[in-house]
Structure 1
Amino acid sequence: MTKLRLAIVGAGPAGIYAADILLKAERKFDVSIDLFDHLPAPYGLVRYGVAPDHPRIKGIINALRDVLDRGDIRIFGNVRFGIDVTLADLKKHYNAVIFATGAIKDADLDVPGIDAEGSYGAADFVSWYDGHPDFPREWPLDAASVAVLGNGNVALDVARVLAKHADDLLSTEIPANVYEGLKASPVTDVHVFGRRGPAQVKFTPLELRELGELRDVDMVVYDEDFDYDEASKAAIASNKQVMVIDRVLQSWRQRPSVNNVGGEASRRLHLHFWARPVEIKKDADGRVAAIVTERTRPNNSGGVEGTGELREIAIGQVYRAVGYFGSPLPDVPFDKRHGVIPNHEGQVVEKGSNERVPGVYATGWIKRGPVGLIGHTKSDAMETIRHLINDQASWWTPEDPSDEAIISLLAERQVAWTDLDGWHRLDQHEVALGAPHERERVKVVDRDEMVRVSRGE
């Protein structure tokens, strides 16, 4: 019987789902899967891209853990693709590779002044508050008034973490340095700007509801944003999710804090709709000083158009949450415009010629772009795995497909890789750090410490 030796690069949900689906799929060959990740710990964006006060979404980790703990997938953490292991190496030891590397960079936003000091990508801020080992430990939270650009879940996560009192995060796995940084923040007002109206937002009702439950934070919405056009009314009437979002927003209009009148909280979170950023103004030192937005309105084709009415709000920082963007990988085709590996239903193709690249596949955000929720990654992986199974004739023919070959290679290159037992050690260590404080865990942030704990050194 033929055996498929498969490498998967990326140990987040996309990579783990792909491995699980392949192992459960109907096929006429045996399978052996090695999962590689540049981080010492698995789970990708679920561990490093979801706000720490989201226990429901964090619960996805439990399902992913069940897959890994079956013991039929090997993990090699702290292994950098293109440095520790190359595509040529994978061809020597595997029949195929699936890239599931996600998208962790911020998409660019072409607005004058976006390069000002105090202007940040939301993804970098998320990586900081989630304790990503490759990001600085400190974050300059030094502004009383802050702008967040975007109307998706990431924008709301960032706004919520900025507005929330640090002590209310102590029950989560928030790292100590993040707690101290947020505790010292002087923020009083967080402004969230979206180009379109309340009926066209991209966030989910759950995310929106959570904003209204923040302690000592007033929700501020503006009556002028709720003069709905016919398309918005139709969306509210026909889509249950839009209907719930509208219901939540309408309830906030009844609160005394609406339009900045009568609120008693020490912090305010403002939602501005129909507001397109047109400029970030700088002070004499090149720092963020204000945001200028143009009032928009619906056009006749489902989008928006500018009205020419400009508004300015003084701010000290701005976070753009307008989407994530994929990163190129050495020796792998890449579409610079869309930030993805070019592919046909997960089969990687050459950019330009669209010729198939035998043995190379993609899944998750690096395949389709950063759209959809974590659950969408499953159907994505099913499509890729279906092609992988059917493409048996074009698999690579490795020189040494033995299970020991990759271990010998990493040892020879003195790579301090981590495995599943190592993740269990790190997991137990973090839980033990949290126990004295009645916390679920305290996340280890330093990469070297993560590796030492994982390897039992």
Structure 2
Amino acid sequence: MTKLRLAIVGAGPAGIYAADILLKTERSFDVSIDLFEHLPAPYGLVRYGVAPDHPRIKGVVTALRGVLDRGDIRIFGNVHFGEDITLDDLKKHYNAVIFSTGAVRDADLDIPGIDAGESYGAADFVSWYDGHPDVPRTWPLTAEHVGMIGNGNVALDAARVLAKHADDLLSTEIPNNVYEILKESPVTDVHVFGRRGPAQVKFTPLELRELGELNDVDMVVYDEDFDYDEASKEAIATNKQVKVIDRVLQKWRELPSANNAGGTASRRMHLHFWARPVEVKKDADGNVAALVYERTKADGAGGVEGTGEMREIPLGQLYRAIGYFGSPLKDVPFDARHGVIPNHEGKVLQEDSNEILPGVYATGWIKRGPVGLIGHTKSDAMETVTHLVNDQASWWQPEDPSAEAIPALLESRNVKWTDLAGWHRLDQHEVALGEPQGRERVKVVPRDEMVKISRGE
């Protein structure tokens, strides 16, 4: 019986789902799977890309934990692909590899002034408040008026954390250094800008409702944004999700804070629709001073067009949350325009010829781009795994497929990798840190500390 030795690079939902689907797939061969992750802990964006005050994500973590804890998948954490282990190494020890490295950096926004001081990508901010070990421990929260460009879930997540009082985050797994900095934030107003109308937003009803539940934060919407065209009316009438979003927004139109006319809270969240960013104005020191945007309107074909009317809102800090973008991997084909590994249904293509690259596959955001929720990752992985199983004739023929080869290789390169038992140690340590404070856990942030705890050093 043939045995498939498979490497998966990336231990977020995409990689774990791919491993689980393969192990449960009907096949005529045995399977041995090793997961490689550059962070000392698994779960990817579930751990480092979702706001800490989202308890519903616990269900996803529970499912992923269940897959790993079965014990039929090995995990090598704190291993950097391209440095600690290479594509050539994988070819020597495996029959194939699936890349599931996701997308973790911000897409660019090409407008004048976006390079101003105090102008940031929201992904970096999210990584900071989620305790990612590879970003600085501090964050400069010095502005009273902050802008957020984007109308997706990441934009609302980041805006919510900016507007929320730090003490209201204490029940979450927010790292202590993040709490201390948020506690001192002088923010009074957070402005969220979207170039489309209320019926075309990309966030979910749950994300929107959570904004309205913030303690001591007034919601501010503007009547001028709700002059719906026929397409918007149709979307509200026929799409349940859009209908719920509209219902929430209509309730906010009735609040004293609507149109920025009143309200009693110490902080305000402004939602600006039909607002296309045009320019970031700078002050004398080169820092963000204001955002200039053009009022847009529906073009009758599902898009928007400019009206020529320009507006300006003074800001001291600006974030862009217009999407994530993938990063290239050493010796692996990469489509720099779309930020993905070029592929056909998960089968990686060579850059110069578009021919199939045998033994190399992709799944998740690095395969299809940063679209869809976590649940979409399962069907995505199924497609990739199906091809992998059917491609047995083109698998690599490794020199040494033994299970002992990889630990020996990493040991020879002085790589301090972490394994599943190490993740359990770190997990238990974080939970123990939270217990005295009545919290579910307190994340350990420094990478070296994560590694030492995981390795029992």
TM range (shorter): over 0.9
Return the alpha-carbon distance in structure 1 between the equivalents of residues 412 and 138 of structure 2: 36
Return the alpha-carbon distance in structure 2 between the equivalents of residues 442 and 116 of structure 1: 34
Structure 1 residue 331 corresponds to structure 2 residue 346: no
Contact 1:50 1:58 in 2 (8 A): no
Write the deviation string for residues 187-220 of structure 1: whole angstroms up to 9, x where unpaired: 0000000000000000000000000000000000
For 1:97, the equivalent position in structure 2 comes to 97
Which blocks of at least 5 consecutive residues in structure 1 are unaligned? Answer: none
TM-score (norm 2): 1.00
- State the one-letter code of the partner of 1:50: V
- State the one-letter code of the partner of 1:330: K
For 1:134, the equivalent position in structure 2 comes to 134
Partner SS state of residue 331, structure 1: coil
For 1:210, the equivalent position in structure 2 comes to 210
- State the one-letter code of the partner of 2:51: A
Mean Cα deviation higher: 347-356 or 227-236: 347-356
- State the one-letter code of the partner of 2:134: D
Return the alpha-carbon distance in structure 2 between the equivalents of residues 399 and 196 of structure 1: 55
Contact 2:231 2:300 in 1 (8 A): no
Structure 1 residue 121 corresponds to structure 2 residue 118: no
Write the deviation string for residues 39-93 of structure 1: whole angstroms up to 9, x where unpaired: 0000000000000000102321010000000000000000000000000000000
Return the alpha-carbon distance in structure 2 between the equivalents of residues 58 and 317 of structure 1: 32
Write the deviation string for residues 205-243 of structure 1: whole angstroms up to 9, x where unpaired: 000000000000000000000000000000000000000
Structure 1 residue 104: deviation in Å?
A: 0.1
Matches within 5 A, 1:393-432: 393-432=393-432
TM-score (norm 1): 1.00
Partner SS state of residue 214, structure 1: coil
- State the one-letter code of the partner of 2:434: G
Stretches of 4+ aligned residues off by more than 6 angstroms: none
Return the alpha-carbon distance in structure 2 between the equivalents of residues 232 and 111 of structure 1: 28
Partner SS state of residue 146, structure 1: strand
Contact 1:47 1:58 in 2 (8 A): no
Return the alpha-carbon distance in structure 1 between the equivalents of residues 85 and 321 of structure 2: 33
For 1:231, the equivalent position in structure 2 comes to 231
Structure 1 residue 352: deviation in Å?
A: 4.0
Return the alpha-carbon distance in structure 2 between the equivalents of residues 318 and 350 of structure 1: 39
Contact 2:13 2:44 in 1 (8 A): yes
Aligned length: 457
- State the one-letter code of the partner of 1:258: A
Return the alpha-carbon distance in structure 2 between the equivalents of residues 106 and 351 of structure 1: 24
Matches within 5 A, 1:47-196: 47-196=47-196
For 2:253, the equivalent position in structure 1 comes to 253
Return the alpha-carbon distance in structure 2 between the equivalents of residues 135 and 55 of structure 1: 24
For 1:299, the equivalent position in structure 2 comes to 299
Partner SS state of residue 306, structure 1: strand
Contact 2:128 2:136 in 1 (8 A): yes
Which blocks of at least 5 consecutive residues in structure 2 are unaligned? Answer: none
- State the one-letter code of the partner of 1:254: E
Structure 1 residue 262: deviation in Å?
A: 2.0
For 2:320, the equivalent position in structure 1 comes to 320
For 2:359, the equivalent position in structure 1 comes to 359
- State the one-letter code of the partner of 2:288: V
Partner SS state of residue 334, structure 1: coil
Write the deviation string for residues 100-159 of structure 1: whole angstroms up to 9, x where unpaired: 000000000001000000000000000000000000000000000000000000000010
Contact 2:147 2:191 in 1 (8 A): yes
After superposition, the CA RMSD in angstroms is 0.5
Query: In percent, how many aligned pairs have the same letter?
Result: 82
Write the deviation string for residues 309-335 of structure 1: whole angstroms up to 9, x where unpaired: 000110000000000000000000000
- State the one-letter code of the partner of 2:443: K
Return the alpha-carbon distance in structure 2 between the equivalents of residues 262 and 359 of structure 1: 62
Partner SS state of residue 56, structure 2: helix
Return the alpha-carbon distance in structure 2 between the equivalents of residues 43 and 37 of structure 1: 9
Return the alpha-carbon distance in structure 2 between the equivalents of residues 334 and 58 of structure 1: 33
Write the deviation string for residues 257-292 of structure 1: whole angstroms up to 9, x where unpaired: 101112000000000000000000000100000000
For 1:262, the equivalent position in structure 2 comes to 262
Write the deviation string for residues 411-431 of structure 1: whole angstroms up to 9, x where unpaired: 000100000000000000000
